[in-house]
Structure 1
Amino acid sequence: MSWLSTRMSSYQMNYFLKGSVSQASLALQRAGQELSTGRRADMFGDLGPRAGVAITMRAREENTQSYIEANKVLENKLEAMLSAIETVRGPVEDVLQAAIVNKESKSLGAAAIQAQARAALETVIGTLNISFNNEFLFSGTTSNAPALNRWDSADADTGLSPEDVIAAVLGSGPTSTADVTTMMAEIDQIFDGTHSNANYHFEASFYNGTPELDGGGVPNNRIAGRLDQDQELVYGVQANDQGFRDVIKGLAVLAAVDIQDIADEDTYRDWMDAAVNTLSDGQQGVLAASANLGFNQQVVENAKLRLEDISIVQRKQITTYENIDPYEVATRMSSLETQLQASYSVSSRLSNLSILDWYR
């Protein structure tokens, strides 16, 4: 070996030095990349079989982040739904209080109740038709359509508006206590879907979303969201839930009839009693929906916090595999720079050799 080295030509020496310089330059470039990014430039080469573990952990972390982002969107969606429900409760409560004041007899505010109830109807319907990310929030799984028809807008299938249906049943209003009983029974049939005229049903001429029951009488699925790989949350609140039906029914009774035209006192009291009881039931139902949404918000928040904690652990584990020690890399770079400088110096001296040097 010493014989070969002592007899190696300057060309061969220069060739080997160029190869050494090239390798050292590549190593220096890689070390610089690692120092700037903080991550291994060749994870497979450095980790060998352990690289598969790092890839699996990275995929798991990406999956966790997707759930975190989805939960953030769901939080905003639930907040929008809760805000809408609170908006519904306000005008309904105002009408309810006015009706209670006028329940036994007509007071000064009786003249305004019909207009107040009609305005509240418009607010309730408009609010329950809100959308979020191009999805109508209270339409159930049929989220591409507004939940409710406008009060005076005809349904595309039945050709009847909600106002048409109520007017067909109530006409000019009750004139006796018997009328109150008959009319309210028919109104109940409209809102519970048992009326003999199917076009009068709430889910036919009032509501456009997912029906409460399918064709076989089985409850339809509600909107649900997956909080993580193992947890699903059913959070759907629909405009055909009983609380909203009662609210619309109570407001419709007061909006369709001018209570000042009810001359008989007993008839008036029975009519107002029915309206107040229906609105009270509706308010209780809407309040329950609000409380349920608030509970669901807490469930989503807890799931998001749990996933964020898991993400912290996973990212620390990934760091141990993918990241480099900057001090070790800096030391390696310094060594490579020294090596390159020595190689450049030798190459420079070899390139300056001449046959004339042998005669000196």
Structure 2
Amino acid sequence: MVLGISSFSSFQFNLFNRQNVQRTTLELQRVSEEVSTGKKADIYADLGPRAASVMKLHGREANTQTFMTSNDVLASKLDAMLASVDAARTQVQSVLESALVNATRNGNGAEVLQMQARAALESLVSTMNTSYNGENLFSGLESNKTSLTRWPETSADTGRSPQSVVEEIFGAGPTDPASAQAIADQLETVFNSQDADASRNFQGTFYQGSPERDASGAETKQISAWVNTGQEVVYGVRANDQSFRDAYKGLAMLAVTDVSQMDEAAYSTWMSEVVDSLSASQEGMLDISARIGFNQQIVEKTQTQLTDLSLVQRTQISNYESVDPYEAITRMNSLETQLQASYQVSSRLSSLSILNYLR
């Protein structure tokens, strides 16, 4: 009778046990990470072909977060713009009220209109030169430039100040209704940037931002922003918009002279032009405020949609990447028990020796 004896050395057994301990330890570390983070340790290996879907979801979520961040900035800019326009309208309103009281004849208070108009001009220019994060809000695409030039300051572009331009056109002042209308018409040409002397035009001397029209006469672009995929909002407001030009013109017509000393025959015509300009500016700024408010609603509504979309996407990603905590803890306990058993076997084997049997 032949007996087959298969041998398995203690070295081989120890090596096998060591490898088993190593595998179990690595698996335990992996499961421990999943328990602590709540996510699969090796997401793409676990998901296999479904990993492509997760990558797409991550890309969409990153895009959504980018829109949400930029929309937060845009919302803050719109808030600042609306506050500035409303402040400018309030400044013009106070002068308009005083002008209306003295519109037809030189009554009580006309002597302070010049000082009041100059103060309002300073406030108007300061308000229109509001910046946000270093970006001038009312300079259009050329947001690195200051929007309006202060009444007595010299423009770096033309070497002229708004005050000097208006004083040059006003001259000694009107002497009758016809001359008052002629001076007002000339100022209108200046504020429309159509004066033959380019250094006197609103664009350049009064305003330094992006022009209303390009060299070919076509309207230039306003500032816009993408608030969502395929959704663009044109929100730009420039200090050369008609309402702000009307405000600057009306205030300048009062700031250039003490109307209480003006020729009586020309007074009514001059003040009529002032009131018309300031009234038009009020209406225009109300319209601008309404447009800004409408854009605020668009941004707010879009943010709500993006927030909801982000929640859905993050939930889907979590469904792919998250682990069942109860299942993970069960696996971790099982691996700990297995590892303890392997350590106990190794400890017993290491204590075995043939000398113990030869005693």
TM-score (norm 1): 0.97
Structure 1 segment 105-124 matched on structure 2, within 5 A: 105-124=105-124
Given that 1:172 and 1:257 are in contact with CA atoms closer than 8 Å, whether structure 2 keeps it comes out as no
Which one-letter code corresponds to 1:75 in the other structure? A
Cα distance between partner residues in 2 of 1:154 and 1:340 = 84
8 Å contact from structure 1 (residues 34, 41) kept in 2: yes
Pairwise mapping of residues 1-360 of structure 1 onto structure 2 (< 5 A)?
Answer: 7-264=7-264, 266-359=265-358
Deviations 1:161-193 (A, max 9, x none): 011110000123212111111101100100112
Letter in 1 for 2:288: A
Post-superposition shift, 1:6?
Answer: 6.0
Ranges in structure 2 where 5+ consecutive residues have no aligned partner: none
Aligned positions, number: 357
Looking at structure 2, the residues matched to 93 and 296 of structure 1 have their Cα atoms a distance apart, in angstroms, of 25
**Counterpart of 1:232 in 2: which secondary structure?**
strand
Please say if residues 117 and 255 of structure 1, whose CA atoms lie closer than 8 Å, have aligned partners that are also in contact. Answer: yes
Residue 7 (structure 1) shift: 2.3
* Equivalent AA in structure 2 for residue 253 of structure 1: M
Deviation at 1:107, TM superposition (A): 2.2
Distance of aligned partners of 1:37 and 1:88 in 2 relative to their CA distance in 1, 3 Å threshold: same
Helix, strand or coil at the partner of 2:227: strand
2:229 maps to amino acid: Q
Q: Is the alpha carbon distance of 1:52 and 1:262 closer, same or farther for their aligned partners in structure 2, counting shifts above 3 Å?
A: same
What do residues 203-224 of structure 1 show as CA deviations (whole Å, max 9, x unaligned)? Answer: 0211100000111111111100
Matched residues in 1 for 2:308 and 2:188: separation? 51
Where 1:237 maps in the other structure, the secondary structure is coil
Partners of 2:114 and 2:258 within 8 A in 1: yes
CA contact (8 A) 2:174 2:263 kept: no
Question: What CA distance in whole angstroms lies between the structure 1 residues aligned with 2:196 and 2:89?
Answer: 32
Moved more, 134-143 or 52-61: 52-61
RMSD of aligned residue pairs (Cα, Å): 1.4
Q: In the TM superposition, what is the alpha-carbon distance from 1:239 to its structure 2 partner?
A: 0.3
Q: Distance in 2 between matches of 1:260 and 1:150?
A: 24
Percent identical pairs in the alignment equals 46
Give the Cα separation in 1 of the matches to 2:115 and 2:248.
15
Contact 1:147 1:207 in 2 (8 A): yes
